[in-house]
Structure 1
């Protein structure tokens, strides 16, 4: 007779489930990313990316990512005897992750590199940023801001002299301490206020002159910031109203100098944001009560400096979304090539093959555009064409790639079914990706802000000609691309109304993506992309590619080896 316990045990035999995606080199298994990098930096030493890909794909780092998101940052405003501390406590896994990001130079190091690979420093950093995002994107907020503020910080030579080495250092130091005592430094930003949001000209924080010292003109700031990103950073660039208008200021956490040196600045953290996703990162609301700050640049030039910083963080939004797309696709491919349904592996079912191939197209196109934009930052000071493309493609890539992220994640999640919707285990990563996707679209300017920025970019007299030059290598390769490439420069020149700006951003993105795929991807990928996205052989949802697509070629290229 069979015992009750053995009978119950038999009903819980686990089979037909996929193994977790772990201990995979995220770079060497990603052919689209490798080809995009090779197109723009053919001689680049890829050993650093290979090492980063192995580390970020390891089971250990995946576990750190899980723990850093489960154990959210905790705010401690006061100590036990009532003194203000305004400190944020993080799980050790957070520190392990951000330490790895700095160790691999994903923050400000590209600005200071002088080695043989310095000519492609921004592109290499961009590829690394994408690889890191696949594992855990939240901790990259202060990393991205430390990268973005560097050009603006050069507007104050004394500050740059004292802070540049620490911002480029790869030896992470989590302590709240005086900048000169730390092995590495990070920076955040504080721009938006509750009454203005993206309209930073509506800011009410006031800056009152307070003499000068070795860092230049000092001010006292009083006001608030509604989104104050990464409040545990060592310093921040913030906007405030000075007598000469909206101005950019450098605001350290710990004050330097005689008397006040080593004391906390008057930055009062009111609360941490309870966000949809991005859980490992601390976003906050703060108030300034006569906080001490130093002017960066001239009074009244704050918006121009913010736009310069925004260019860099918007690049990271496109990179981050592209990395998340790749990870979502990899999870979907990993699951469907192991899971059986209706007598076949899911990946062998015709409808599923169409969905996966369509996702692969979207992911590769996003990667190609994001890496192309990063390459422009390496060359924009030496090439007028690259300078125009950096200005043009920043709002385009940020708008289009980030817009596609949420719907991409939803479709990839459907490939896993209920296993993709749960928050636990290795495949809980898919739910985390889905919650993260809207952030990159919203942060640093949502869709309408990007469309307006594109309008400013196309007002340059040389934009239409530069776009035509960018598309020229692919002319004659596909009739649908030829039609769009012929029309776009004329539309750029004639664009005067805001109403059509979002459509223009979409079409520029699609045309440039197609031209890039012609140069970096197999003909099967290029042809399928043009047929679907430009030629109309597509149903405007994933999984509606035409029957003539070479699904085997698309899936073979996308599979994480």
Structure 2
């Protein structure tokens, strides 16, 4: 026997992470289910290339740089003689990752493509691939997306804008939707204050209409395009604001206590002719009445600059009407919540890819001296198979919501489509109103323990921050995934919001009608399609649970439902997922997806486990984890 040393003996082979556009069987099924074949054929080459690019060593080097050299205030917010300054410093890796996202059009593709109601699906498939490698740059990207959509909405009704407002809004929109890193912008979204997180009713930020006199023209922002600063002066304190390095922000402030909050667009920086550079040159750029009080020190998302901000005479432009801030910001929130859920399943998808790669190269003992790869270990494969079933369940719910978002932005005159479960036009808005809150409350909360389970599946090495092998750094993904259930509305906040949506005096009935249409239409598809094992008992079981949930929602008042909102809403989410699972198995049938669907229905109590039903052998678990007809570690596309 020879003793091992630091350089001799056994060394574990590094796992390989494959192109997820090909290797992630769930993502492939999602694309086939929700996209027409013609669109899928068009986007596949570029998406496949992105799947390769996000796994390059260069990208992972940028991720490591962004994680190691975290954002900070130069001089801790002071110059050499103690004068307050707010110079935010971000690392080169962070900037390069942002530039990569701009160039790949992960936000712009929704605004410069012609896929109509499928634009959002095309976009979020890209985001899904990018999420595990972007080091949180998609967080300001989400707010960039929301701000672009809000401005697009106002620019579509130009008669309501003054010539100067039109110029300001169009300029910001053009920057937000650019693919050129030299001109592209991100945006902040400043709502949270010390008085409350998602509750903005107690906002202490005040906006005063204070236009510049005609004899003294408004100073310009730091954009070299003659863009003036706005006529509103805003002062207050924002407690939690990400995207601190953005070029603009959308924020909430009160103009009049009787009117509620209003929404504003504020450039982040302005030109100051009196500034002096280190070499003595006059003129330069400074923050627009904004002081960075401090940067937040967080459990995860550490590469993302998140700050407390003091606003003093921050100049801004009113968006829409006074007192309509909640209505305006809801456009952004719907989009940022979808981004957050896509990030959750994106982290989970990448974590499962790491777990699959590790299982393909790691051996484990089976007793009596026997050893086997983890990819052939019955217990390990059962664990990963169960995780994969849960992952696909969340993917179905998230991407159905994405499809509704696309339909809401590109309305169609009919519900005729090759894509299943496309609702009639009049039900799109009510369904999206409920699902935008429901899918985030359920998905982000459910994904966290699943990502943790992937980390656990690597044993001790999964707990390490493997910066030297960044492609398997699942611990980083877990830390960052934890925030999904917190920002853009916590699990409870959004469960309560879903209850308000279905109990609203004017629109709640239509929302329940939309949910009822979804369930019945989906169960009809399941009854007509393939998947005999699923449809025999699943249809009746899901309908029974749905009728129980609906009856309770109709019977009880909002005050009665709120204490149990999480349980009620998450059970409703499981009903919707069960319907989607059965539709997927019916539209694109196969033994593997039918078994996955059966397992989900049994696990969630829609049907009982019966002797002899389904397949629970190693081969089936391997097929669920790695794809049908594909051995662990084998290259090529995975299929469920």
Please report the TM-score for the alignment, with normalisation by the length of structure 2. 0.78
- Which protein shows a greater Rg? 2
Q: Give the match for residue 117 of structure 1.
A: 115
Partner of 2:627: 557
Structure 1 269/333 Cα, relative in aligned 2: closer, same or farther at 3 Å?
A: same
Q: 1: distance between equivalents of 2:405 and 2:135?
A: 22
In structure 1, the gaps of 5 or more residues are 174-182, 539-544
Aligned to 1:180: none
Task: Output the CA distance in 2 between the equivalents of 1:285 and 1:132.
Answer: 28
What is the alpha-carbon distance in structure 2 between the residues aligned to residue 27 and residue 365 of structure 1?
Answer: 18
Return 259-268 or 49-58, whichever deviates more.
Answer: 259-268
Q: Does 1:246 pair with 2:290?
A: no
- CA distance, structure 2, for counterparts of residue 391 and residue 482 of structure 1: 22
Question: Relative to 1, partners in 2 of residues 1:262 and 1:96: Cα closer, same or farther, differing over 3 Å?
Answer: closer
Q: Is the 8 A contact 1:230 1:281 kept in 2?
A: yes
Aligned to 1:184: 184
Rounded to whole Å, the distance in 2 between the matches of 1:40 and 1:547 is 29
Alignment deviations for residues 105-141 of structure 1 (CA, whole Å, 9 cap, x no partner): 222541x33x442431111111111111122351111
1:19 to 2:28 alignment: no
Question: Shift of the alpha carbon at 1:553?
Answer: 3.1
Residue 24 (structure 2) pairs with residue 30 (structure 1): yes
1:209-232: per-residue Cα shift (whole Å, max 9, x none)? 112778797221111101011111
Question: Runs of 4 or more off by more than 6 Å in structure 1?
Answer: 212-217, 256-261
Corresponding residue for residue 532 of structure 1: 603
Residue 463 of structure 1 pairs with residue 463 of structure 2:
no
Displacement, 1:440? Answer: 0.8
| 1:10–1:97 distance in 2 versus 1, CA, 3 Å | closer
Following superposition, the deviation at residue 518 of structure 1 comes to 2.2
User: 1:422 — aligned with what?
Assistant: 464
Q: Which residue of 2 aligns with 1:179?
A: none
In structure 2, distance between residues paired with 1:271 and 1:124: 38
1:412/1:536 CA distance change after superposition, 3 Å: farther
1:405 aligned residue: 447
Contact kept in structure 2, 1:190 and 1:225, CA below 8 Å: yes
1:490 deviates by: 3.1
Count of matched residue pairs: 538
- Picking from 317, 334, 337, the partner of 1:294 is 317
Structure 2 CA distance for partners of 1:340 and 1:285, relative to 1, 3 Å: same
Query: Relative to 1, partners in 2 of residues 1:319 and 1:358: Cα closer, same or farther, differing over 3 Å?
Result: same
Give the corresponding residue for 2:572. Answer: 508
**What do residues 300-358 of structure 1 show as CA deviations (whole Å, max 9, x unaligned)?**
11122222211111111110000111111111111122111111222322221221011
- Corresponding residue number in structure 2 for 1:473: 522
Alignment CA distance shift 1:209-1:358 (3 Å): same
Partner of 2:375: 347
TM (norm. structure 1) is 0.89
Partner of 2:127: 129
- The corresponding residue for 2:177 is 168
Say which SS state the counterpart of residue 506 (structure 1) adopts.
helix
Distance of 2:556 and 2:380 partners within structure 1:
40
Aligned equivalents of 1:484, 1:216: Cα separation in 2: 55
* Distance 1:98-1:494 versus aligned 2 partners, 3 A rule: farther
Map of 1:336 onto structure 2: 359
CA distance in 2, matches of 1:495, 1:546: 41
User: Is the aligned partner of 1:225 residue 2:225?
Assistant: no
1:39 pairs with 2:33: yes
Quick check: 1:268–1:288 contact (8 Å CA) kept in 2? yes
Structure 2 unaligned regions, length at least 5:
155-160, 213-217, 219-226, 275-282, 366-370, 413-424, 528-534, 586-592, 636-640
The counterpart of 1:317, out of the listed 336, 340, 344, is 340
